[in-house]
Chain A
Amino acid sequence: MDNNQVFDEVRAIILEALGVDEKEVELKTRLIEELDAESLDFLDIVFRLERSFGIKIPRGEIERNARGGLSDEEFEDNGMVTPEGLEALQRVMPEVDPIYFKDGLAVRDIPRLFTVETFYNIILAKLAEQGRP
């Protein structure tokens, strides 16, 4: 499976889960802000990705990974992402426009940053872990 095929499949799953039109979904499209995704939709997308690619994405892994190895105390303060946390996020999610990693980002708003590419990258990483092309 080449990267284009992976992207097409990720996009097809997002189209189905969110009931949106193909032309609305690009690599950089943000799922909550632009496609009106709700929390349940993320569970649905993860479920479909697991089935389709034969991989396992443990619940909470995406959030944990986003912390870039930082402890909770290092990453967040009173529900807000620390400056150190912002750096980690930017490192882990290079696909997200850096303008969003600014002071005052609440932890609960991190999923608002997720784009189609976030999921595409997760799949590529999982496939690589399994030694699949």
Chain B
Amino acid sequence: MNEQHPRRVVITGVGAITPLGNDWPTSWSGIVNGASGVGPITLFDASTFPSSIAAEVKDFDPAPFMPHKKHLKFANRFTTFGLAAAREAVDDAKLNPAGLDPTRFGIIIGAGQEKYNLAELAEFVQLFGQAHRVDYEALGTYGWQVANPNNLLKSQLNLTASLLAIAYGAVGLNLTVHSACASSQSIGDAFNIIRRGDLDVAISGGVDSMIDETSLTGFCLLQTLSARNDEPTRASRPFDLDRDGFVLGEGAGMMVLESLEHALARGASIRGEVLGYGSSSNAYRITDIPPAGEGAVVSMRLSLEDAGLEPEAVDYVNAHGTSTKMNDASETRALKAVFGDHADQVPASSTKSQIGHLISAAGTVELLVCLSAIEEDVLPPTINYETPDPECDLDYVPNVARPKPIEVALSNSFGFGGSNCSIIIGRYRPEGRGA
């Protein structure tokens, strides 16, 4: 038993909406079979954008997952993904929310950022735009004409967490984090909060969709997206020499996390254990990564220390692996710094090669990949790996999945703004592991 943390935290249910499936088993099957969820953007006409491809969620009907039909008027696309993924996770965990102590049942979510409603903006400009300035007098007098109160709520980051609390009667701590692509800090927070005894059960995960006009414009301006529009399924190619940027994805991943004691007491089936969490900031630049990946080194080392594990104990890394020139080279250097001589024996693949970058949902979905990899003793691949890059010379599990006994896996997520998040999970062993 870990003396510093007597309470252990286990995963008892998972759910996901991804570009490869509207539940986790379908998504995982696509991932392990090397499929790609990337295609031309269909959510709006992106044909004139420098990057016009994305990994979209397909054929998704949100209505059955809303706590009440009227909530559809507030819920944006990613909130509806989150509600669906949470439903799957709760069902998978065979959790009866009504049977829980509601005050010890919480929601901790990583959520995507606020969206502009372009139709509303256009109307705003028409009514209150005066030669490129805002006509405040007109706005003060006629603002009511454009200000549907729903829109304010729709843009609140905590709406997903709020609707989940309503859906499941979760009266305990309700928290939303946003650290861009490192928003799986939600899982790390849930782990710590349950471990220290403030909650027994949490629905935790991430939700995002940035496949919209304004977000796509922003990422195109940042020049971070792949422009391989003619070959969408080959566009996301982490660690490959010819990578040219990331591909936007969307979706949600959710987990039911519980204290081990609580899970055992209700006879839950335990799918895995959260072992360690490390988080850091680059404290460097907004979008640039320090070349040696120093911040990532810190988050990985902290997660190992937290888990009481030596680097050699890690059998698989699900890399952040965005398919940008900068990330993949610097993450490779960071992995080498952390794993040392052992680095080339730790397979590190990137699921973003298949489902694109789910931004705030990426880390959670990739943690689900780690969990299924452990459960099935299989390394999921990095697809589109064709030409080695001298700067990226580790084992990225090129193109096809391969069997390997996996006890412990680490998932990396690094965000614009400099946040880094590393989470370690393992197969559940009643006797525990580590220090």
Q: Is the interface of B mostly helix, strand, loop or mixed?
A: helix
Contact of B150 among A18, A44, A50, A59 (CB under 8 A): A44
Distance to closest chain B CB from A51 (angstroms): 7
For residue B145, which residues in chain A have a CB less than 8 angstroms away from its CB?
50-51
- Give per-residue flags for B131-151: 1 if the beta carbon is below 8 A from chain A beta carbons, else 0: 000000000000011011110
Contacts of B144 in A (CB 8 A): 47, 50, 56, 59
B149 adjacent to A19 (CB under 8 Å): no
Whole-angstrom CA separation of A3 from B72 in the bound complex: 30
A47-B70 in contact (CB<8A): no
Q: Does B429 interact with chain A (Cβ within 8 Å)?
A: no
Instruction: Give how many A residues have a beta carbon under 8 Å from the other chain's beta carbons.
Output: 16
Nearest opposing residue in chain B for A47, CB measure: B148
Q: Are A43 and B72 within 8 A (Cβ)?
A: no
Instruction: Assess the B69–A20 pair: CB atoms within 8 A.
Output: yes
- Whether the Cβ atoms of A19 and B73 lie closer than 8 Å is yes
Contact B69 A19 (CB under 8 A): yes
Contact A17 B70, beta carbon cutoff 8 Å: yes
Q: Taking the complex as formed, is A99 at the interface, i.e. its CB lies under 8 A from any CB of chain B?
A: no
Min Cβ gap A70→B in Å is 27
Closest to A18 in B: B70
Chain B residues whose C-beta falls within 8 Å of the C-beta of A9 in the assembled complex = none
CB distance from B3 to the nearest CB of A (A): 48
A59 CA to B149 CA in the complex, in Å? 12
Interface residues of A in 16-50 (CB under 8 A from B): 16-20, 36, 40-41, 43-44, 47-48, 50
Would you list which residues of chain B between 62 and 121 have a CB under 8 Å from chain A? 66, 68-73
Q: Complex: how many Å from CA A19 to CA B74?
A: 12
Question: Distance in Å from the Cβ of B344 to the closest Cβ of chain A?
Answer: 56
B153 interface hit (Cβ, 8 Å): yes
Chain B residue nearest in CB terms to A48: B148
Asked whether, in the complex, the Cβ of B73 is within 8 Å of the Cβ of A44, the reply is yes
A87→B66 CA distance, assembly (Å): 42
Contact A19 B72 (CB under 8 A): yes
Chain A residue numbers with a CB within 8 Å of B73 are 16-17, 19, 44
A65 to B318, CA, bound (A): 63
B149 touches A40 (CB 8 A): yes
Instruction: Report whether A44 and B71 are in contact in the complex, using a CB–CB cutoff of 8 Å.
Output: no
Is there contact, CB below 8 Å, between A36 and B68?
yes
* Complex contact B149–A44 (CB within 8 A): yes
| Chain B contacts for A20, CB-based, 8 A | 69-70
- Give CA–CA (A93, B34) in the complex, Å: 66
Give CA–CA (A96, B72) in the complex, Å: 30
Looking at B71, B144, B145, B153, which has the most chain A CB atoms within 10 Å of its CB? B144
CA of A40 to CA of B149 in the docked complex: distance in angstroms?
Answer: 7
Nearest CB to that of B150 among chain A residues? A44
Q: How far is the CA of A18 from the CA of B66 in the complex (A)?
A: 13
Q: How many angstroms between the C-alpha atoms of A50 and B72 in the bound complex?
A: 21
Q: Across the interface, do A19 and B148 meet the contact criterion of CB distance under 8 Å? A: no
Q: Note all chain B residues with C-beta closer than 8 A to A36.
A: 68
B98 CB to nearest A CB, Å: 19
CA distance A40 to B71 in the complex (A): 12
Min CB distance A120 to B, Å, is 20
Hey, which chain A residues are within 8 Å of B68, CB to CB?
19, 36
Smallest CB separation, B51 vs chain A (Å): 35
- Could you give 22 example pairs across A and B, Cβ below 8 Å? A16-B73, A19-B66, A19-B68, A19-B69, A19-B72, A19-B73, A36-B68, A40-B149, A40-B150, A41-B70, A43-B149, A44-B73, A44-B148, A44-B149, A47-B147, A47-B148, A47-B149, A48-B148, A50-B144, A50-B145, A56-B144, A59-B144
Among all A-B residue pairs, the 9 with the closest Cβ atoms: A19-B70, A19-B69, A43-B149, A47-B148, A18-B70, A44-B150, A40-B149, A19-B68, A44-B149
A interface, CB within 8 angstroms of B = 16-20, 36, 40-41, 43-44, 47-48, 50-51, 56, 59
> 17 extra interchain contacts, Cβ-Cβ under 8 A, other than A19-B66, A19-B69, A47-B147?
A16-B73, A17-B70, A19-B68, A19-B70, A19-B71, A19-B73, A20-B70, A40-B149, A41-B70, A43-B149, A44-B73, A44-B149, A47-B144, A47-B148, A47-B149, A50-B144, A50-B145
